[in-house]
Amino acid sequence: MSLILVIDDTPFWRETASCSLRVKDHEILSASDGLEGLALLAGHRVDLVILDIEMPKLDGIGFLKKIRRQEQWKKIPVIVLTGNTQRENIVRAKMLGAAEYLLKSKFSPEVLVERVQRWLAVDSNLPDSSSADPGDVVPGADNSMSISLSSISPILTAEQCIERATRVLAGRALSGTVAQVISVASSPRTDTQQLTSLISRDPMLSARVLHAANSAAYTSSRGVVTTIHDAIRNIGCTTVRNVAAALGIFDTIPSTPGDGFNPIRHWQHSFAVAQLCERLCAASKPDDAGIAYLVGLCHDLGEILFQTQFATEYHQILKLTAQTGRSYDEVERHLIGMSQSELVLALLRQIGLPDAIREPIEATYKAKGGDMPKHPLAQILTVANFYANGALLASSNSSLVAPLTQAVCKAAINNPNPSCPDLEAMRSEVFALTSVLGPISSKEASELMTPLYPRSNATIRIVREAAFSSYDPIAAALGAVAKIEVDTTLSRSLAGDAEGLVVIARSPCSSGFSAMEISEACQQSGRRDFPVFWLTGKDPAGEAPLPAASIVRHFFPIELAALMEFVAAVEKKQLSKAA
CB 179 within 8 A of CB 244: no
| C-alpha span between 252 and 244 (Å, rounded) | 13
pLDDT digits (tens, 9 = 90+) for 483-525: 998 988 877 767 677 788 999 999 888 888 888 888 888 888 7
Look at residue 221 in the predicted model and tell me its pLDDT: 52
Look at residue 133 in the predicted model and tell me its pLDDT: 33
pLDDT digits (tens, 9 = 90+) for 367-425: 865 678 999 999 999 999 999 999 999 887 778 899 999 999 999 999 999 999 998 88
212: how many CB neighbours lie within 10 A of its CB? 25
CB 545 within 8 A of CB 517: no
* Three-point CA angle 285, 288, 294, nearest 5°: 135
What DSSP designation does 468 have?
B
Go through the chain and tell me how many residues it has.
579
Nearest one of 416, 507, 423, 392 to 468, comparing CA atoms = 416
| C-alpha span between 82 and 9 (Å, rounded) | 11
pLDDT digits (tens, 9 = 90+) for 299-331: 888 877 777 778 778 777 877 776 676 777 788
| C-alpha span between 204 and 249 (Å, rounded) | 14
CB 399 within 8 A of CB 453: no
Nearest one of 516, 555, 550 to 532, comparing CA atoms = 550
CB 40 within 8 A of CB 573: no
Amino acid code (one letter) for 306: F
With a cut of 70, which residues of the chain have pLDDT below it? 84-88, 105, 122-147, 170-179, 182-183, 186-188, 204, 215-223, 245-263, 322-323, 325, 352, 368-370, 434-449, 493, 495, 539-545, 548-549, 578-579
Give the pairing type, strands 558-559 and 400-401: antiparallel
Q: What are phi and psi of 2, to 5 degrees?
A: -110, 155
Question: Residues with Cβ < 8 Å from 237, sequence gap 6 or more?
Answer: 185, 190, 192, 195
